[in-house]
Structure 1
Amino acid sequence: MAAPPHPLTIHNFRAYWLSRFSGTIAVSAMSIVIGWQVYNIARLSMGVNEAAFLLGMIGFAQFVPLFLLTPIVGLVADSVDRRWIVRATTTLLVVTAATLGYLTWSDQLTLSALFSAAVAFGVARAFSGPAYSALAPNLVPRESLPTAIAVSSIAWQVGTIAGPSVGGLLYAIHPDVAYGTATVLFLIALLFMFLIGPVPQPPAQTDHRPLARIAEGFRYVRRNRLVLATITLDLFAVLLAGATSLLPVYARDILKVGSQGLGVLAAGMGIGAAITAIFFSFRPMSTNVGVKMLISVVIFGLGILTFGVATPITNALGLYPGRIDLFGETFSVAPAFLLSLIALIIAGGADMVSVYVRQSLIQLHTPDAMRGRVSAVSQLTISASNELGEFESGVLASVLGPVGAVVFGGVGAIAVTLGWARLFPELGAARTFDPPDMLAIEPQHGEAKP
């Protein structure tokens, strides 16, 4: 039997990959700059905890439109050409980036403008997320899909590495330069999306029952316990351990590394995730997928926990910043910063394992005619875990302080994983991605077959 074609040998998938790569760099760069600007403006009149709360509110501003629009966007992704959905939302991001760049350049930027941009981000992502996810399986043969998911994740994860670093460095030159670069990258993403040729669309629905079709997506997720388990595990683990929203707090007031250090920290999880995604693109996971997902989420929680306590640990051990000479230059080395970065890299690699398993299960277990709606449900939980997790972290930081909030989240993620392993034995029983061979569990009883 001939090996399945590699996704990057397919023209439409290459254009899709390059579009996602460029767009992810731009989104990541804008996200880190917006967070840094919100925190800096807030610190002019607020303390650390109060300013951290506003960082959480930025996440909440992105979550609200995602939450409200999720029932609609899944139906749209199953009814409208998915390429045009992504083209329209990328255009909105072009306008948003250009507007923030102009306001920054003209010294008219305010917190209200930054929060409005966050809402626009939420609207764009609400529509583009399900469309992007549902589009990928239409571009490659089914047997190439697990590799396509890994390769697509490389575009996203490498973008999350380059984006924050580029954003932080360009912000150090001037904030409007960062926004100008993001605008150009969004335009490039839009161009490549227009280069994708015609792709298969699910059969047109003529029952004129949109509410029933929307509910069908939620019912499918609820009835498929394995898909439900993977989606909700990610929801609660990342919701609790959403420490990345507090990176501006750590960069400015705890680690004291400024905007350049912020870019490096923000790229940390992306570095680990990209390494893992590259590995899976050459060696796709094929055995014991459920157990590996559970282990990876525990490691993710431990990584976040270590990041949270890196500064107290190094201070307690008497490890303070030192200097080294390399290539004739003197560099300052902060042990707390290095430990924080390593912890984030490990957390990112572990999170990528979870993402890889979850996305493969969802795409391979869902009929194409429902992929948009099921992807919308998945996106809602991802958004709840990310943006709502940022809100949760901001609220906790205002009460427990930034370190206490991160520690609480890391411990919580580990506890949730242990609970899910017991509540959903289907996860531990998942051996491969192949639906007929995957479940060794009777759904109606939740007990292992004899």
Structure 2
Amino acid sequence: MRTKALAPAALALLLAPLATACSGSAGAAGSSTVTVTVGYQSKTINTVTAGTLLRSLGYFEEELAARGQKEGVTYKVDWQDYATGAPITAQMTAGKIDIGSMGDFPLLINAMRGKELKQPTHLVSVTGYNLRGGLNTVVTAPDSKLESLADLRGKKVSTSVGSAADGTLVRALQRAGIDPSGGIEKLNQQPSVGASALQAGSVDALSQFVAWPGQLAYEGRAKALYDGAELNLPTFHGVTVREKFAKERPGVLDDFLRAQRKATDHLRTEPVAAAESVAKETGLPAEVVYLYNGANGIATFDPALRPELIDALKQDVPVLKDAKLVGDVDVDAFVDPEPLARVAAGSAQYPAAVAARPELWLKGEARTRSFDSPRELLKAARGADVRAAYVPDAVTGTLWFADRAVWVAEGPELRAFVTPAGAKAYVAAHQGSGARVVSFAEAGALAS
């Protein structure tokens, strides 16, 4: 018996549920609506070119809109915000997040878990990096009597186990001759929980990643005890993608990386505007955002998979293996430079990180001012309506707030240090020059 043909209207009603069922799946070819899910960390502000800033600028959505017009598909982006990289990895290996950004140590866990659960992932770009490791800092309470890492022996220290900040803590303790597993009492806590614990006095120190140390110092709730740049080992955050998604929708991945480069261009050319934007989105003080993401900030933004960063990632594997957080990780297989190479073909390369300079941000000004020396900065700041003043550590180069730094006067020179230990070590090594630790107020008076 011949079936009667359906009228166009009836056919549309019949197909509507099918179209709805297909929508929202990034992997369903031919869907009328494709949702791309991006996991990011809004408070981890050196990931902003793949997260907070990128989202606010709308560059990814613009790229997808252009693609959708050509393909006859509607693309949507589901931005999911997390405090750390671990839950992003959990969602990626469950097939629920397509693209994510996280720090170097979590990236290795991402690689291992993806392989174990047969949802392999790949590192495809970098967001921000610091070649010495200055993105991680150990801080103590403002009135703490602890003055060096050696003073942490037997103390309670909060960190996020498996994070880059935990890696810094482990390595720093080892260099100080302290057993990371038995020489301190380590508490595995989310950054916000650890910050509260430090303020309540239930822990003696907090080891965390950008932007927590800078925020706590800026707000007068902590002081730096150890500058991660003392390790002189690169640390970075990067973008990881599910292999299945990358194979099914390579053009969408290209769109994301293209949009990330645009966000990087914006941040590098308009650092103050970018800091203000990120501050608005996250609730962080713009002055803190600029400390890390500014023109001379602690983080350098460049999507390139630089060889020194990949080498550092390989050096991170034994640290995580000792902590029994990963087994063997094939870093070379995890890193996939091809997508970024496609997007950046023929584009000018970003310049490498340069030594930071003292920088002054005056209220009401949309640009900051740079100086050749800390003395010049302090002289210019005297009597001015200062929003923030930044100085690089005289040894590590890590940028810090001028009024939170430890100052050393040496003849006519004024030098700044992130930690008391750094300043004291410099003074001890320059006893014949008359070098001495001075207060911020005294440094300002000597500069005038």
Please classify the TM superposition score into its range, dividing by the shorter chain length: under 0.3
TM-score by length of structure 2 reads 0.27
Greater helix fraction, Structure 1 or Structure 2: 1
Q: Which has the higher contact order (CA 8 A, sep 6+)?
A: 1
